[in-house]
Amino acid sequence: MDTILIIDDDDQLRKSFEKLMVEEGYRVRTAASGEAGLEEMRAAVPDLVILDMRLPGMGGLETFRAIHALEPKLPVIIMTAYGTTETAIEATKCGAFDYVLKPFDIPGMLALIAKALEAGRFMRSPVDLDAMSTEASREAIVGRSPAMQAVYKAIGRVAATNATVLIRGESGTGKELVARAIYQHSDRADKPFLVINCVAIPETLLESELFGYEKGAFTGAVHRRIGKLEQANGGTVFLDEIGDMPFGLQAKILRLLQERSLERLGGRQTIPVDVRIIAATNRNLETAMVDGRFREDLYYRLKVVTIWLPPLAQRRDDIPALAEYFLARHAAEAGIENPGLSAEATALLQGAPWPGNVRELSNTLQKALIFSRGAPLAVEDIAQATEEAVASAEPAPRGSDLRGWAMQMLTTGKDEDRFDRCMDAVASILVREAIDLCGGNRSKAAKLLGLSRPTLHAKIDKYGLRIETAVKED
Ligand SMILES: Nc1ncnc2c1ncn2[C@@H]1O[C@H](COP(=O)(O)OP(=O)(O)OP(=O)(O)O)[C@@H](O)[C@H]1O
Ligand SMILES: [Mg+2]
């Protein structure tokens, strides 16, 4: 349970805020002054501080500075009323997580609190490299395959430098985990680590989130706002999904990398910023570049130090250790005893295709744990955990993984219609790819597949491909 420390001299606000937070499942401590707040901090460090700017005695900004000096990685949300916004902005410049204007809306505040807590966790929970123990309480990058050893070496080589790092690999291969490990092993480990997901935010918002803006920069810019890049000064910014970053913004990031400075939106002043950039993507940047979706100059600037995370299917030797690690973690989280894995179940896991990579393996074990009855997880438990996925979504056999996929199909699910299910799975992929290749034109796709149009239509219906936007009426 996360603990939130609220520092505000307004008794009424403290009380109602505390009630709300407790209802949300947080543990709450309160203090009526900066001095009392610091006292609380020294007694036990909370997971988040919510701090009012206008305080009697020691002022809000001074209190923030003292908190930040004590615990530089502790997220602090500043509350401010009209008249103290300048100091609130000053606090974000000095590393406060964000500020809100009183009176604030509750859903917005709750979302911000969740975001701040996550940022704090990111910074503080350590990631062990190549952990031998499967101690469930610590996060670790698990695996000793040659591919993973190369990753550890790369992390070791680049961590202590200020080099920009690009992490590449399919979805679920552990890119975010590697980014955190680099940060934690760097000289900047005691400075902020901010995560920006480039795909989750609309372009204009992403730009102001990253670069900040001056008052009046656009309609609605009532106050100056410090962007995340400036806020993380001295620290590290993780640009996740950079392959999806809007083209226009890419130029601004390139400039930041080259000149180590930025301008806020609507601002004339050039502000020097010292941030280390770690970027990640599961996109094929080379194709994106050819298609004109990714800037060539940024590509070359980023790729100098690249860490590749291979798909899980290319490091099957790691699967037993990963499986044990996840089982221990999920069991601990669920508060149940770790049932362990039977040898057959391990073999099954090791042979599966894992198109969703490590994340999928983790999810599968979490589900399998539900079916366990104290005894070591057996093939049936794993099968049951994967059954839904096998029955509903396409199991996606891919390239050299066809054999692994076949093996999984043969050892999971019901026998009755196995052959037909497998054929359908393959056929649905063929049809989808053909339609994509033909730009959504079904006549062309039918011709390409050597099928009549009605037959193709029947297949589209059968595989539920109609819902896909890729399928256009021709
Ligand atoms: N080698 C590993 N050892 C332990 N856990 C791992 C490893 N690789 C990945 N994980 C775990 O698997 C999950 C997915 O990893 P992560 O979020 O880092 O993937 P990603 O590459 O960023 O995926 P996406 O492209 O979808 O964002 C996380 O819970 C992560 O902790
Ligand atoms: Mg990720």
Structural domain boundaries of the chain? 3-124, 127-310, 313-413, 421-467
**404 token code pair:** 């692994």
Closest-CA residue, ligand 1 atom 25, reads 171
* Confidence at residue 137, expressed as pLDDT on a 0 to 100 scale: 61
**Position 238 confidence tier, pLDDT thresholds 50, 70, 90:** very high
Tell which wins on pLDDT, 440 or 338.
Answer: 338
127-310 CATH, one of 3.40.50.300, 3.40.190.10, 3.40.50.620, 3.40.50.740: 3.40.50.300
CA of 283 to the centre of ligand 2 (A): 12
358 lines ligand 1 (CB under 6 A): yes
The CA distance from 414 to 409, in Å, is 10
pLDDT of residue 466 exceeding 90 = no
CA of 117 to the centre of ligand 2 (A): 18
On the question of a common fold for 313-413 and 421-467, the answer reads no
Can you name the CATH fold of 421-467? Arc Repressor Mutant, subunit A (1.10.10)
With a 6 Å cutoff on the Cβ, whether 175 touches ligand 1 is yes
Instruction: Decide: 171 in ligand 1 pocket, CB within 6 A.
Output: yes
Confidence of residue 132 (pLDDT cuts 50, 70, 90): low
Residues 373 and 364: their CA atoms lie apart, in Å, by 16
pLDDT at 474: 43
Q: Which CATH class is domain 313-413?
A: mainly alpha
Structure tokens at 445: 């796709």
CA of 170 to the centre of ligand 1 (A): 10
Distance 456 CA to ligand 1 centre (A): 38
For residue 170, the ligand closest to its alpha carbon is: 1
Ligand 1: atom nearest CA of 318 is: 1
Is 29's C-beta closer than 6 angstroms to any atom of ligand 1? no
pLDDT of 414 reads 72
Q: Is the pLDDT of residue 17 over 80?
A: yes
Lowest-pLDDT range, 75-84, 90-99, 341-350, 413-422? 413-422
Mean residue pLDDT across the chain: 86
Query: Which ligand 1 atom lies nearest to the CA of residue 173?
Result: 21
Q: Is 173 in the pocket of ligand 1 (CB under 6 A)?
A: yes
Q: How confident is the model at residue 382 (pLDDT cuts 50, 70, 90)?
A: confident
Written out in words, the top-level CATH class of the domain with range 3-124 is alpha beta
Q: Look up the pTM and report it.
A: 0.74
- 223 alpha carbon – ligand 2 mean position (Å): 32
Average pLDDT over residues 37-44: 95
Q: What is the mean pLDDT of residues 5-30?
A: 94
